Amino acid sequence: MPVQGKICGLSDQTSVDTAVSHGARFIGLVFYPSSPRYIDPELAAQLASNVPDNVDKVGLFVDPDDFLIQTVLESVKLDWIQLHGSESPDRVRVIRQKFGIRVLKAVKISDKADFEEAKSYEKVADMLLFDAKAPKNMANALPGGNGLVFDWRMMQGLEFSIPWMLAGGLTAENVAEAVKISGAEIVDTSSGVESEPGRKDPAAIAAFLAALAEIER
């Protein structure tokens, strides 16, 4: 089975079209105002309007209240809500039940103990996402999309009861190694396909998805 790819933080039509035409399984739209990848619901609706049904649209939120989620959903038909903040398992459960949309919960990783936190979300989320945890002394760190990589070897031997996605500093150059070491079947990139924070590089998107297509599992 081919490795599936998610291109996150898309903010212009060319990048969306490139991701879709080169085989992305998921596209990510960021609704976190502090992110350089943030877009408003109106633009998100335009970008999502021609995305085919076989490509899932994921809305990224960070510790959102219900009003923000509802406001976005009134404009954009999302297939997934991605929670990339410090949402508790109970909060994840409430969001999933209230809005009736699949939830992708991000867990930040710096050491193997962080995977224990992930276990607490298995019964309330539909998928997990493992991203690199930013060090406390990192200036202007974001909840995700910092271009950091964690040690994929920590994932060897781990099992989860729901699907999971690997993120954190993935590029066309390192994604094959990441998949080989971690066993990931789905991968996510954002900063790894950018020319600068918030500006996607269509050539890098195409190269990343081409690299996925060449991985033999």
111 classed as catalytic: no
Among residues 131, 151, 188, 201, which one is catalytic?
131
8 classed as catalytic: yes
Residue matched to tokens 């954009």: 76
Give the whole-angstrom CA distance, residue 200 versus residue 203: 9
Among residues 8, 79, 111, 151, which one is catalytic?
8
Task: Report, as residue numbers or ranges, the catalytic residues.
Answer: 8, 131
